[in-house]
Amino acid sequence: MVKTIYADSYCSNQSTFIRILNALIDYQWTDVKITKEDLTPDLLKAFMDCTHGIIDLITGLYSALQHEALITDRKTKINEFFVRKVAKKYYPNLMKTIDNIDASEYDRTRLAEIEEANKLMKKDICKQSDIEHERTISKSKISHPIRIC
């Protein structure tokens, strides 16, 4: 039996998600700062909707928010509407992909890819086993030559 390790399990962990955002708000360059109290359910939902809890996307979006606030108006209040607007501006293609993550077609495709990868790995293991078997036979022929009289 093959045990599956889900490397993305942290993405759906709400406490991990909030800890990441709490750590990020220490890094702000705008005049209007986000506080822990500003991390309302609506703001958290906007971040989650736009990143699916993926750390790389969270930090990228957060940087884009800071950048956009600086180039538009340093007094911009970062709220759920601003988060969605910036995500659409800086990550338009990524947003399309993220929107499909929950689609059943995505799961079917992902499972099919996993299945195909498992088949290829098993095939490689069989090939490697055959190669090792041939090497063993070759070595035994060399070390014990047959004498023909």
Looking at residue 45, what is its pLDDT? 94
DSSP state of 2: P
Is the model's pLDDT at 145 over the cut of 60? Answer: no
Q: Residue 83: which of 99, 69, 70, 97 has the closest Cα?
A: 69
Looking at residue 146, what is its pLDDT? 55
List, for residues 101-110, the tens digit of each pLDDT value. Answer: 655 565 566 5
Chain mean pLDDT for the chain: 79
Is the model's pLDDT at 44 over the cut of 90? Answer: yes
- Between 106 and 132, the higher pLDDT residue: 132
Give the up-direction half-sphere exposure of residue 126: CA atoms within 13 A in the CB hemisphere. Answer: 6
